[in-house]
Structure 1
């Protein structure tokens, strides 16, 4: 025990027990040290202050150890411990699976065990070289680095790394392969009818899904998630709640699509409109679609993958039919659920006939002004019998 005066008060503190190894000489040295600190006005003056200072130093030391551990975390560890749980909460299972593949197959084998903060351009170039060696498409390469950037950005927000992702450096982005995966093929009315007829012989459900995509422009995933409570027969609309952009939208239903849905409609609501053979939500399309396409020869002689007919081509056919009927790009953007009008502008060439007609009308108007003649309005000139 040590007894001393401090701030005008007598204070007694326990040094420790002899059984704990505290010797009288050590207690005396401690007493002298505290006495000297009180006299100088610097350092701990009591055993309690000394212990508190020790706790503070220990806390600072432990905090520094945690900071170093965060700075030394590997890409894979951060992905599994922090990023993946967030992705699983916010995304569909197929998106999660693709993210795992991008990390486990392409990114981690190159940067395995390396602290994230030490990942530089040389590692990203090796990842890209591996993708090229395996002849992966430009779009796949792009997705791998989109995932890398997303993980890096979240790690930066969490304090695990500093600075911008190395994949965003201008020198790296300039050497990335250019991507143009836009499907350009759409079906004529005759091709639509032949395909639907062939599909009906193979699978009525697949026929109905194809019809809904042609008539309403739905994506495959939007049809998988469609439930009967989203179908409004009174207003002839579909309420799409689960979309690619995660923004719900209303889509008008044509009479042809409405008749098909009414034939499918069960007596109860809440169930999926299209189901697998166990009555559960669909997760993939039957390969009967590709077989039907091949059977009627829609892809015969087609070598450009952008011109091959796939299920998504039906959505493009919807866009084509809408624009050729006089619809605007802005309205089409809303109907198809595009995040930006820039995406919709890929269909602008489908409205070229209207543009040509409009220019010819402008030219005729100029000629009439010079000659004093009369210009027939465009809408009358294009088929009115009046």
Structure 2
């Protein structure tokens, strides 16, 4: 505002500039300013309007405090500095308030507000499984516990309840994995800072590795029935059986991933987060050629709505049950889609393929996952073990000759 419009007030160093139109009560609204000398120079600072609860008396007190700071060398010397400090303090209070709210966040609140909204990329089946585990086992024990107060004891309660209900070690491990994912997100976003308490909870162990794989005759029968019931399921099964690809990897395949001239398929965004190649066999090539009509892009397999196939078809599950699963209670012995991947690896080992090559073809992140197939090559192992046969006899003959020569 123009200096010419400033008017002195009853307080030294305090001025008011009337607003040309706006009233405060029956008088014009005044913009209050103070003036003082700072480092030998005259300085003006605006404090606010009387309609904003600023008065000449308040301004006079502020001016007095500033002059006292100038005289003693203690305290803030300008209104601008005071405002900066006030803003910083307000920000600190807001940060402290937000942190206090985070510290009080319960597992239920974080699950609903932070975790669930980020799970859209998971398959519908995975989301349904997590929702069921949350409702039945996790929420009853953890929902009202604040994240900061979560300790191994709470997770032990989840585990014990699931054990009492007869849940399998695999299901219990899955539930703990969900809690671990929630904790990881909370750790990333600053709600917690400690390692996951579940690391101190010993989970029940059971060998859940699938033992069942198909013989060539069984595989032929399965493919024959699938071809009649569901051509799409048949084609996906052929690809898995002759490449070891997981269902999700096959469902994600696009035409640009297929290199017919080079005989390779690029698998992107795998379970181990590493791209890899598998190789076209005549069986896979035939399936893909039959489905190919010149496309250069787009999904190879699509759902009825044209989107990505997000679950194993009922036709496949019914066929596997009809042919192989009647009366089979042990999940390790039941035939499912993953049995095709297991069959691929088993056949490779039976044909004499070394385990390292099997690991690379399967895309295993850990060699331990591959060694489970070593028992399928007993003859090869037996032959390798026998290379030492007769070693002691050979040594005995050598030593006998040495002793005779020394006599």
Normalised TM-score (structure 2): 0.78
Point out which structure has higher relative CO (alpha carbons under 8 A, 6+ apart).
1
**Residue deviations 1:331-354, cap 9 Å, x none?**
111111111211111111112221
Aligned in 2, Cα 1:165/1:276: closer, same or farther, shift over 3 Å? closer
Aligned in 2, Cα 1:295/1:366: closer, same or farther, shift over 3 Å? farther
Q: Shift of the alpha carbon at 1:278?
A: 4.4
Q: How many angstroms apart in 1 are the aligned matches of 2:283 and 2:191?
A: 55
Contact between 1:225 and 1:242, CA under 8 Å: does it hold in 2?
no
Contact between 1:237 and 1:253, CA under 8 Å: does it hold in 2?
yes
1:268 aligns with 2:295: yes
Residue number among 350, 359, 370 corresponding to 1:333 in the alignment: 359
Contact between 1:212 and 1:257, CA under 8 Å: does it hold in 2?
yes
Q: How many angstroms apart in 1 are the aligned matches of 2:231 and 2:373?
A: 30
Contact between 1:237 and 1:250, CA under 8 Å: does it hold in 2?
yes
SS at match of 2:277: strand
1:51 aligns with 2:92: no
Q: How many angstroms apart in 2 are the aligned matches of 1:275 and 1:36?
A: 79
**Residue deviations 1:257-311, cap 9 Å, x none?**
3233333333433243333344443222222333333433x23553322112222
Q: Shift of the alpha carbon at 1:253?
A: 2.3
Name the residue aligned to 1:287: 314
Gaps of 5+ in 1: 373-386
The Cα RMSD (Å) is: 3.1
**Residue deviations 1:107-139, cap 9 Å, x none?**
344333443112223322232234334433211
- 272-281 vs 225-234, which moves further: 272-281
Bigger-Rg structure (1/2): 2
Q: How many angstroms apart in 1 are the aligned matches of 2:254 and 2:101?
A: 48
1:139 aligns with 2:181: no
Name the residue aligned to 2:41: 9
> Following superposition of structure 1 onto structure 2, how do residues 1-386 of structure 1 map, counting pairs within 5 Å?
1=14, 2-13=34-45, 26-88=58-120, 91-103=122-134, 105-169=136-200, 172-173=201-202, 176-296=203-323, 298-363=324-389
Aligned in 2, Cα 1:108/1:24: closer, same or farther, shift over 3 Å? same
Q: Shift of the alpha carbon at 1:242?
A: 4.2
Aligned in 2, Cα 1:5/1:231: closer, same or farther, shift over 3 Å? closer
Q: How many angstroms apart in 2 are the aligned matches of 1:53 and 1:240?
A: 57
SS at match of 1:226: coil
- 275-284 vs 211-220, which moves further: 275-284
Aligned in 2, Cα 1:5/1:131: closer, same or farther, shift over 3 Å? same
Aligned in 2, Cα 1:203/1:92: closer, same or farther, shift over 3 Å? closer
Aligned in 2, Cα 1:270/1:50: closer, same or farther, shift over 3 Å? closer
Q: How many angstroms apart in 2 are the aligned matches of 1:59 and 1:216?
A: 58
Q: How many angstroms apart in 2 are the aligned matches of 1:100 and 1:162?
A: 26
Q: Shift of the alpha carbon at 1:213?
A: 2.1
Q: How many angstroms apart in 2 are the aligned matches of 1:349 and 1:224?
A: 31
Q: How many angstroms apart in 2 are the aligned matches of 1:213 and 1:22?
A: 78
Contact between 1:195 and 1:293, CA under 8 Å: does it hold in 2?
yes
Contact between 1:323 and 1:351, CA under 8 Å: does it hold in 2?
yes
SS at match of 2:37: strand
Normalised TM-score (structure 1): 0.82
Q: How many angstroms apart in 1 are the aligned matches of 2:303 and 2:44?
A: 80
